[in-house]
Structure 1
Amino acid sequence: MKTREVQIYTGEQFTVPQGVQRIDSRSTHGWQLRYGGTKFYSDSKFPGGAGGALAAATKELLKRVAKLPAPTRLKPEPNANKTSELPVGISGPIVRQRRGKLRDCSFTVLLPRYGEAARRRSVYIASESTYTVERYMQALEKAVVLRQEAEELYRQEATKAKRREARAFKASLAA
């Protein structure tokens, strides 16, 4: 789990995990947990002040990581500039003509992979002479399924990685 060093207004230095932010204002001082919702841990409510509040926020963070799926940066909706009605990660139809052959068309599907570069897949629709709306819809369904499966696998891998990091972080705290 990524951590950073934070020095608070009293001069104390803390190692803070990703997902916990420091809030210091005139009226309040504490740590805000930002993972699966937010929760504030005020320095004044915990024995040990800022250290106690950070320990409580970290403990709750580790609980949430253990049971919630990891957040991802996958886009839930198409970009506003996208001119087609196709779902996120699917573009086309792309029409190609190879030397001496009929034109054919296909969809391009972007398949996200956690920790690796995304992969592109082509889903064939039809050639110029065999194109129908039915074949278009079948190819689109196949492209959507490919994308959904890739997104689900991405989320699973992201969650596994986040939980591995959290276990390692917890072990480092115990040591």
Structure 2
Amino acid sequence: MKTREVVIFTGERYVVPQCIQRIDHQSTHGWQLRYGGTKLFSDHSQDGSGAKAALAAATRALLIRINKLPAPSKLQRVPSGNKANDLPVGISGPVVRQRAGSRVRDCSFAVSLPNFGGSPRGRSVYIGTENTYTVEKYQAALARAVELREKAEAAYQRAATRARRAEGKALREKMSKLLPGL
């Protein structure tokens, strides 16, 4: 997990993990955790003397949330407003094409399968030819495309959560040197 150096209003420097922000306003001084919701960890002082303890508490809470919550997903959940049909996210079609040497066209859905840490893969779900195409085959192919997409999204989420938890473990080791008691 990435960290950065933050200088607070007293001039003290702290190494702070991502998902934790410094809040210094008129009467509010503390660290705000932004992971699975927000929570402010106050310095409980106007002079900033409690900043180190508040940062340690915020970091502990971050590590707990990383271990309990699934990783935030960057996958698109709803179709864009520009999508011309009512197909779910990641599914387009039906794609109609005529293969070389064939006299009839065939139809299929194009499915984008997310792949954590890599490029999305594309799959084609066959519906039928122009001679065999039926509403039932369309619906069955759409159900298969949705199933493929849902399985890929679940695998993506599991991989993202595993990666985030590994980052959390590395963060604990790094921050325990800077903030004793983690």
TM over 0.5, yes or no? yes
The one-letter code of the counterpart of 1:25 is H
One-letter amino acid matched to 1:159: T
In 2, the alpha carbon distance for the partners of 1:172 and 1:17 equals 10
| Aligned match of 1:140 | 142
Q: Counterpart in 1 of 2:72? A: 71
1:144 is aligned with what amino acid?
Answer: V
Please give the alpha-carbon distance, in whole angstroms, between the structure 1 residues aligned to 2:139 and 2:54.
55
Distance 1:39 1:174 in 2: 21
- SS of alignment partner, residue 23 of structure 1: strand
**In the alignment, is residue 161 of structure 1 matched against residue 163 of structure 2?**
yes
Helix, strand or coil: the match of 1:44?
A: coil
Q: Counterpart in 1 of 2:37?
A: 37
Task: Return the alpha-carbon distance in structure 2 between the equivalents of residues 172 and 13 of structure 1.
Answer: 16
Shift of 1:146: 0.3
The Cα offsets for residues 38-83 of structure 1, whole Å up to 9 and x where unpaired, read as 10011116x9511111100000000010011000111111111111
CA shift, 1:8, in A, is 1.2
- Residue aligned with 2:10, SS: coil
Distance 2:66 2:141 in 1: 37
CA RMSD, 1 decimal: 1.3
- Structure 1's consecutive aligned runs of 4 or more residues displaced over 3 angstroms after TM superposition are none
TM-score of the pair, normalised by structure 2: 0.92
Q: How many residues align?
A: 174
1: CA distance between counterparts of 2:160 and 2:101?
46
Structure 1 unaligned residues grouped into runs of 5+? none
Structure 2: how far apart are the matches of 1:99 and 1:119?
Answer: 24
Out of 2-11 and 86-95, give the one that drifted further.
2-11
Instruction: Tell me the equivalent position of 1:85.
Output: 86
Q: TM-score, normalised by structure 1?
A: 0.95
1:99: how far off?
2.7
1:100 is displaced (CA, Å) by 3.3
Q: Which residue of 1 aligns with 2:180?
A: none
Equivalent in the alignment of 1:24: 24
Q: Residue type of the partner of 2:56? A: A
Distance in 2, Cα, partners of 1:12 & 1:159? 33
Counterparts of 1:38-57 in structure 2, within 5 Å, are 38-44=38-44, 48-57=49-58
Distance in 2, matches of 1:147 and 1:60, equals 33
